[in-house]
Amino acid sequence: MKLLYEGKAKRLYETERPDELLMEFKDDATAFNGEKKAQFENKGRMNQALSLLLMQLLEKGGVPTHFVRTIDEIRTIVKAVEIIKVEVVVRNVAAGSLCNRTWFKEGEALKAPVVEYFLKDDDLGDPMINDDHIRELNLATLHELAFLKSEALKINDILKPFFLKTGLKLVDFKLEFGRLSTDPSTIILADEISPDTCRLWDVSTGEKMDKDRFRRDLGNVMESYAEVLKRAEDAVHS
């Protein structure tokens, strides 16, 4: 199969169908725009499992996603989309770059979710952009952007209570959307939702259970990913 794209954590291959792609999760981990690198056995498998579980939950909640079917533990068939080069971040609690850019202290609760946009461009270090930049750069129309924002908030309204049920606080997360190759007027959720792209803190201990364990050398990275997956699987089956 022809490799179409290799990212930091996933590969995308062509399939025999033009409207479908094969997505493969890798065990590679990167942070700080690729400066810090490592490999974690089973990360690909765990991220695919959690991402699938969450996407199925979102589908049930009326959020269309790119997921079509599973091939094996690290590979799924997804709908072919043109990725919109805007990373949509939703925050419930202050952390990460928000604290570096503003007066917020890590852990401060936000009164209402904060939505931010970042330009998906590694060479530029994914700078934060606003709705006017998005319009001027022709990344999305204002109509599409309004959809991205309402979809992101809807996703937060589904994921936040779900994670709370598992004893995890959904601090923040990053989403990517794409236009269907067969119908560019339809926008669906793409990419992944995993501890690589979310901040999740244990409700009772405050322990970080996400990629910050790798970013900040806190240890037990995969143990935390496995725990998040186990709690999510238990919550779905309960």
Q: Minimum distance from CB of 166 to ligand UDP (Å)?
A: 17
- The least distance separating ligand UDP from the CB of residue 69, rounded to whole angstroms, comes to 25
Select 27 or 126, whichever has its Cβ closest to ligand UDP.
126
Q: What is the 3-state secondary structure (H, E, C) of the chain?
A: CCEEEECCCEEEEECCCCCEEEEEECCEEEECCCCEEEECCCHHHHHHHHHHHHHHHHHHCCCCECEEEEEECCEEEEECEEECCEEEEEEEECCCHHHHHCCCCCCCEEEEEEEEEEECCHHHCCCEECHHHHHHCCCCCHHHHHHHHHHHHHHHHHHHHHHHHCCEEEEEEEEEEEEECCCCCCEEEECCCCCCCEEEEECCCCCECCCHHHHCCCCCHHHHHHHHHHHHHHHHHC
Which 172-191 residues touch ligand UDP, going by CB under 6 A?
172-174
- Chain residue whose CB lies nearest ligand UDP: 96
Of 197, 208, 221, 224, which lies in the binding site for ligand UDP, with binding defined by CB under 6 A?
A: 197
Helix 43-60 with 221-237: angle, nearest 10 deg: 30
For residue 126, the minimal CB distance to ligand UDP (Å) is 5
Provide, rounded to whole angstroms, the least separation between the CB of residue 8 and ligand UDP: 9
Residues in contact with 185: Cβ distance below 8 Å, sequence separation at least 6, in sequence order = 179
Which of 160, 211, 213, 231 touches ligand UDP (CB under 6 A)?
211
User: What is the closest distance, in whole angstroms, from the C-beta atom of residue 174 to ligand UDP in the complex?
Assistant: 3
Count of positions on this chain that bind ligand UDP (CB under 6 A): 13
Residue with smaller CB distance to ligand UDP, 100 or 238:
100
Q: Which residues pair with 163 in a beta bridge?
A: none
Question: Is residue 47 near ligand UDP by the rule CB under 6 A?
Answer: no
Binding positions for ligand UDP, 122-161, rule CB under 6 A: 126
For residues 77 to 96, the per-residue mask of contacts with ligand UDP, x marking binding by CB under 6 A and - elsewhere, is ------------x-----xx
Rounded to a whole number of angstroms, the minimum distance from the CB of residue 211 to ligand UDP is: 5
Please choose, out of 14-22, 45-53, 55-63, 168-176, the segment that lies near ligand UDP by the rule CB under 6 A: 168-176
Which chain residues interact with ligand UDP by CB under 6 A? 89, 95-98, 126, 172-174, 197-199, 211
